Amino acid sequence: MPVAGDGGTMLEGYRVLDLSGPLGWVAGRILADLGADVIKVESPDADLEEIDWRAFNVNKRLLRLDTKSVAGRQVVDRALAEVDVLIETAQPGIPADTWLEPARLTAINPGLVHVSVTPFGRHGPRAHWRGTDLEIMAASGAMSLIGEPGGVPLRMSVPQSHAWAGMHAACGAVLALFNRTSGGSGQHVDVSAQVALVTALAHAPTFVDILGTVPDRAGSAITGRSVHGANFRAFWKCRDGYLNFVVYGGPAGRRSNQALVEWMTEKGAALGALVDIDWIKFDPKLAQQGEIDRLEEPIAAFLEGVNKQEFLDEACTREILGYPVSTTADIAEDPQLEARGFWQYLPAPDGGSERHCGVFYMENGVRPEIRHAAGNGHADTHGVLSEFGFDAREISELRDGGIVAPA
Instruction: Answer whether 163's CB lies under 8 Å from 136's CB.
Output: no
Identify which of residues 72 and 215 has a Cβ nearer to other proteins in the complex: 215
**238 φ/ψ angles, rounded to the nearest 5 degrees:** -130, -170
| 25-33 and 161-181 helices, crossing angle to 10° | 50
Report the residue from 124, 149, 389, 406 that binds other proteins according to the rule CB under 8 A. Answer: 124
Binders of other proteins in range 287-306 (CB under 8 A): none
User: Any idea what the Cα angle at residue 49 is, between residues 48 and 50, rounded to 5°?
Assistant: 95
Closest CA to 20 of 145, 219, 193, 217: 193
Burial per residue of 370-387, b for 16 or more beta-carbon CB atoms within 10 angstroms, e otherwise: bbbbbbbeeebbbebbeb
Judge residue 250's burial from the number of C-beta atoms within 10 Å of its C-beta, 0-12 exposed, 13-18 middle, 19 or more buried.
exposed
Residue 96 binds to other proteins (criterion: CB under 8 A):
no
Closest CA to 120 of 91, 160, 85: 91
Stretch that binds other proteins, among 75-83, 212-220, 272-280, 397-405 (CB under 8 A): 212-220
Q: How far is the CB of 111 from other proteins (least distance, A)?
A: 12
Q: Count Cβ atoms below 10 Å from residue 92 Cβ, excluding itself.
A: 19
CA distance 258 to 318: 10
DSSP string, 121-166: -SSSTTTT----HHHHHHHTTSGGGSSSTTS-----SS--HHHHHH
Residue 35 binds to other proteins (criterion: CB under 8 A):
yes
Report the residue from 19, 238, 245, 380 that binds other proteins according to the rule CB under 8 A. Answer: 245
Closest CA to 343 of 354, 329, 351: 354
CA 151 to chain centre: 27
Residue 5 binds to other proteins (criterion: CB under 8 A):
yes
Q: Count Cβ atoms below 10 Å from residue 299 Cβ, excluding itself.
A: 22
Binders of other proteins in range 144-173 (CB under 8 A): 144-148, 152-160, 163-164, 167-172
Identify which of residues 20 and 192 has a Cβ nearer to other proteins in the complex: 192
Binders of other proteins in range 258-287 (CB under 8 A): 284-286
Stretch that binds other proteins, among 64-72, 115-123, 267-275, 387-395 (CB under 8 A): 115-123
Binding flags for other proteins, 308-327, as an x/- string (CB under 8 A): ----x--xx--x-xxxxxxx
Residue 72 binds to other proteins (criterion: CB under 8 A):
no
Identify which of residues 68 and 237 has a Cβ nearer to other proteins in the complex: 237
Binding flags for other proteins, 215-244, as an x/- string (CB under 8 A): xx--xx-xxxxxx------xx-x---xxxx
Q: How far is the CB of 310 from other proteins (least distance, A)?
A: 15
Identify which of residues 280 and 328 has a Cβ nearer to other proteins in the complex: 328
CA distance 227 to 363: 41
Residue 24 binds to other proteins (criterion: CB under 8 A):
no
Instruction: Answer whether 147's CB lies under 8 Å from 217's CB.
Output: yes
Residue 92 binds to other proteins (criterion: CB under 8 A):
no
Q: How far is the CB of 232 from other proteins (least distance, A)?
A: 10
Looking at residue 266, its amino acid is: E
**Number of chain positions touching other proteins (CB under 8 A):** 160
Report the residue from 70, 96, 280, 339 that binds other proteins according to the rule CB under 8 A. Answer: 339
Q: How far is the CB of 37 from other proteins (least distance, A)?
A: 14
Report the residue from 21, 94, 98, 206 that binds other proteins according to the rule CB under 8 A. Answer: 206
Report the residue from 1, 97, 104, 178 that binds other proteins according to the rule CB under 8 A. Answer: 178
Residue 248 binds to other proteins (criterion: CB under 8 A):
yes
